[in-house]
Amino acid sequence: MAQVSGYPPIIILKDDVDASQGIGQIISNINACEQVVEVLHSTLGPRGMDKLIQGSDGKVTISNDGATILRVLEVVHPAARLLADIAKSQDEEVGDGTTSVVLLAGELLRQAKGFLEDGVHPRVIIYAYREAHRMISERLKQIAVDVSGQLKVLRADPERVSTEEREAARALLQRCAGTALNSKLIAQYREFFAGIAVDAVLALDDDLDLDMIGVKKVNGGSVTDSCLVAGVGFKKTFSYAGFEQQPKKIHQPKILLLNLELELKSEKENAEVRVQSAAAYQQIVDAEWNIIYEKLEKIVATGARVVLSRLAIGDLATQYFADRGVFCAGRVPDADLQRVARAVGARVQTTVHDMRVEEALGTCEWFEERQVGAERFNFFTGCKEARSATILLRGGSEQFLDETERSLHDAIMIVRRTLKYPELVAGGGAVEMELSKFLRERSRHIQGKAQLLLAAYGKALETIPRTLCENAGFDATDLLNKLRAKHATSDENLWFGANLETGEPQDCWQNYVWEPVLIRANAFASATEAACTILSIDETLKTETSDKNDAIR
């Protein structure tokens, strides 16, 4: 409600609208974001703790992945939800660094809160933060190590590249994947899973399409029983009688993929048919049988030895195919069917009439059904049209398998991004300490409030190594002072970060703590934009919709 002198009040908003504005509202939003940061604070790094979250449906999630935790928590505060969004964006873009981006955004806001309370205008802080981000982005490009020369041998002709060069390039990727897995629940198996992640990505075509990597979880067995299959695999679908009589291993089969139901169904339409004789009634009964037999004959006539369908394949069709040495599987999940189609070069058919057999059918070197634990899987290997890989994860519990899958996804994303953008930096807080030193030095040459704000941005960057030390149980103040001294004394020490085994500084590059520069660049950009967005919101309006019509409007 607004009022002008001499005039009656003007009602702008409904009575039930909650309006909060001013610097107090910005600080309130920052406080909400700090609560989110507090939840994730202890999960960062190799010594980070895990969170056990029980959802409203009773499902239990155990994870230390920032994006997963915030997704399961379902943050409802509108400002704090921005942090959940940037964690999700970081996860989708590069796969790792989801906790780091939230901690950094929260620390930038915490540094800004003091300036806001002292009367600095939010726009001044926003401008300084964006200028600081521009500076560290340029510095990050300068210090990044280009490894494209070492990685190009992986895509070169094997006859022109020595085994030693290929192994060196593979070891480089494995170290990047190992750094990502170092903070996960499966950290003690990081070398094993890093090798699987690297082999899975290298098994793909040059486009590195992640859709061609399938991850299947099988309860039971040891974690080290997990393996990689160079091809497409999926769990055996529901099958009818006659399935066991079908062939379970076929060499160079022709493969037909259908989106078609091969099953007898009782009529559901409310139809009335008048017949004059028993023979006429029998013709109606036989009509559906004739239709399905016609479809089955046309399928067998194509020469296909493997038939997969997105819809059901009933007992009649199953036995029909078994009698003719054809393997069939119905109700195949759409994602698996699409992977098979791309890998074997087949096209999903919606009808069996007028098929162009040459275009419809695909092939591979081997089709085989194998037992994996208590489950049976169908595998297509030796695919020529598109290279694919399937990872079979083993483990004792569903929660452990879920977290293993999330961890492996992060490692696969890191390897993929390293191949596409082959520039690396050292982890362990080394790059943050170097950029913090760089900003502090640059801020001394700038006059006015921006000098303090640039230094505050630099101090915020130190939250990553500080949190790593705190989670490892070391004195963060002492170790940060040693790291500042190392970075200040020589430019050769730019890769010095925290050794979380001894609590002392170490050269993280020499100790193979590597990660793609894209992780850090994306984290800095996302955190800065999130902080600037929250600082720019000085009013929050909350409307309670009392009836359905208000909700629609």
CA triple 515-519-53, angle to 5 deg: 100
Catalytic residue among 43, 61, 68, 99, which? 99
Using an 8 Å Cβ cutoff, are 355 and 302 in contact?
yes
**CA 318 to each of CA 236, 247, 255, 260, 354: distance values in angstroms, whole numbers, following the listed order:** 14, 12, 16, 14, 23
Is residue 99 part of the annotated active site? The answer reads yes
Catalytic residue among 96, 402, 410, 507, which? 410
Catalytic residue among 43, 98, 179, 237, which? 98
Is residue 502 part of the annotated active site? The answer reads no
E strands in 411-538? 423-426, 496-499, 504-507, 514-516
Which letter, b or e, does each residue of 45-59 get, where b requires 16 or more Cβ atoms within 10 Å of its Cβ? bbbbebbebeeeeee
Residues whose CB is less than 8 angstroms from the CB of residue 249 and which lie 6 or more positions away in sequence, other chains included: 366, 367, 368, 369
**164 CA to centre of own chain:** 32
Using an 8 Å Cβ cutoff, are 217 and 401 in contact?
yes
Catalytic residue among 65, 91, 96, 336, which? 65
DSSP string, 308-371: EESS-B-HHHHHHHHHTT-EEE-S--HHHHHHHHHHHT---BS-STT--HHHH-EE-SEEEEEE
DSSP string, 210-267: GGGEEEEEEEBS-GGG-EEESEEEEEPPP--TTGGGS-SEEES-EEEEE---BS----
Is residue 65 part of the annotated active site? The answer reads yes
Q: Is the dihedral of CA 125, 128, 129, 130 positive or negative?
A: positive
| Stretch (H or E) spanning 543 | strand 539-543
Is residue 96 part of the annotated active site? The answer reads no
E strands in 102-154? 145-146
Catalytic residues: 65, 98-99, 410
